[in-house]
Amino acid sequence: MSDFQNICFGLDRQGDEEALRVFFRHLGQEPLASLLTSRMSGAEMTQVFDLLSGLLRRHLRHEEYHALLLGEGPTAE
């Protein structure tokens, strides 16, 4: 069963967080990421990059950024 079947956005904070986690997991899969980026305009790619990098800067400490995104440091898995 797809994890999308039970996802609903906009009802409550907990459900919204779970919905975004599901979307993020799927967006990170290579076939989808490759297809989507190949179809995006340069302006759309810039818009997405600016949004995500801005969120990372606002919500992650320097150490978290390096550990979680770059896989560096003591808390990297």
- Domain tally for the chain? 2
> Is the pLDDT score of 76 beyond 80?
no
* Residue 46 to residue 43: CA distance in whole angstroms: 5
Count of C-beta atoms within a 10 Å radius of residue 45: 12
Same domain, 35 and 58: no
pTM here?
Answer: 0.75
17-73 confidence digits (pLDDT tens): 999 999 898 888 999 999 999 999 999 999 999 999 999 999 999 999 999 988 987
Determine the pLDDT at residue 45: 97
* Residue 31 to residue 38: CA distance in whole angstroms: 11
Same domain, 57 and 69: yes
Determine the pLDDT at residue 77: 54
User: What stretches of the chain show up as alpha helix (H) in DSSP?
Assistant: 13-27, 30-39, 42-59, 62-64
Same domain, 30 and 55: no
Q: Which domain holds residue 15?
A: 1-39
Determine the pLDDT at residue 1: 43
Same domain, 32 and 17: yes
